[in-house]
Amino acid sequence: QAMRPASSAAPEPEVVLARTGCAGVALLNRPRVLNALNISMIRHILPQLKKWEEDPATSMVIIKGAGEKAFCAGGDIRAVMEAGKRGDSLAKDFFREEYILNHAIGTFKKPYVALIDGITMGGGVGLSVHGHFRVATERTVFAMPETAIGLFPDVGGGYFLPRLPGRLGIATHFTEAARLPSLEQELVSLSSPSLQDVARLLDRYHQEVLDETKKFVLAEHREKIDRLFLADSMEGIVANLERDGGEWATQQLQMLKRMSPTSMKLALRQLSEGGRLSLAEVLTMEYRITQGCMRGHDFYEGVRSVLIDKDQKPVWQPSRLEDVSDQDLDSYFKSLGPSDLQL
């Protein structure tokens, strides 16, 4: 029988799920698009996560990204935007199923280790930050840039961001990227490890590369961050930055002026409310906000400007913070009744 030409070989799976030693290992396998998360990947990961949670032979879960550039650069937002324009159900289903997965990770009963090597943004943050352990490397780049595309820092951002000290501190451990294979090998070789066993191993790797002389890059700005961003309105934050007038404050101001005014106000309210809510309550709130964004203008305009035309010149509606009223924001937080997220 003749062999088929290589061109018709089966496509690479977008996510590879396998048991290795004591661990269930999830490999996000779309390196060409920085392991961006789409709905079919979510639909593979969630049921397998549930199986691993119940399987006595699986003691922990490790999640990682293929290639050297990214853990996961976010959700497949372009597909969601196109679906929203068509009125297709993906604009509902993607966020709903992604948030159910975020909740499953946040409530996972066994040790959950995310190797966040490379770009970790948006949906990639949701796959990592709610787990017990996040191992960063010198290549890790963390961002929640959603207000630039007319969204907000979702995937449970309303839960974890307000709880960070000084609103900072994402990873639990650090190691060099070159040592990740040996770290993973040691993790999967553990015998029925507890959370403490996993923590001890990660601590050892962390201590071996810790450079006590290296300064935390945000340390010099910590006082300014706490002082200038303490206001309880976006207008107040902008006024603080303008009043400060220093180089750092001016840089932040210029960045904020490029973001969607509606998204910034939504995010501030989301984070303010989220600090008092459980993870499930936050995800329910965030699902409501996504559906408000799907009904609005700025999400479509933001994705057009950043991801499609790439002109980086979004025309936001409204274009000024003062034109986004509390009444406008209220509609994003209202119950969706039977369409609410069920966790």
pLDDT of residue 170: 85
Strand pairing of 173-174 and 15-20?
A: unpaired
pLDDT of residue 212: 67
% of the chain residues with pLDDT over 90: 89
Angle at 112 between CA 60 and CA 119, to 5 degrees: 130
Report the candidate in 234, 304, 230, 333 with the shortest Cα–Cα distance to residue 77: 304
pLDDT of residue 167: 46
Strand pairing of 133-136 and 70-72?
A: unpaired
Catalytic option among 75, 106, 274, 292: 75
Matching residue, tokens 């997965």: 101
Catalytic option among 154, 184, 286, 298: 154
Catalytic option among 14, 98, 117, 146: 146
Query: Each residue of 76-121: pLDDT tens digit?
Result: 999 999 999 999 999 999 999 999 999 999 999 999 999 999 999 9
266: exposed, middle or buried (Cβ count in 10 Å: 0-12, 13-18, 19+): buried
Among this protein's residues, is 67 annotated catalytic?
no
Burial 48-57 (b: 16+ CB within 10 A, else e): bbeebbeeee
Phi-psi region of 182 (alpha: psi -120 to 50; beta: other; left: phi over 0): alpha
Catalytic option among 65, 123, 156, 274: 123
Locate the domains of the chain by residue range: 14-143+169-209, 220-339
Supply the mean pLDDT for the chain: 94
Q: Strands across the sheet with 119-121, in order?
A: 70-72, 119-121, 141-143
213: exposed, middle or buried (Cβ count in 10 Å: 0-12, 13-18, 19+): exposed
Residue 70, pLDDT > 70, answer yes
pLDDT of residue 280: 98
pLDDT of residue 211: 73
Query: Each residue of 250-273: pLDDT tens digit?
Result: 999 999 999 999 999 999 999 999
Query: Each residue of 192-211: pLDDT tens digit?
Result: 999 999 999 999 999 998 77
Over residues 143-147, the mean pLDDT reads: 94
Domain 14-143+169-209 listed as CATH 3.40.50.720: no
Q: Strands across the sheet with 15-20, in order?
A: 15-20, 23-28, 60-65, 112-116, 133-136, 173-174
pLDDT of residue 192: 92
pLDDT of residue 166: 56
Over residues 226-247, the mean pLDDT reads: 95
pLDDT of residue 209: 87
Q: 219 vs 91, which has greater pLDDT?
A: 91
Among this protein's residues, is 123 annotated catalytic?
yes
Does this model's pTM top 0.85? yes
Q: Report how far residue 252's alpha carbon sits from residue 264's, in angstroms, rounded to the nearest whole number.
A: 13
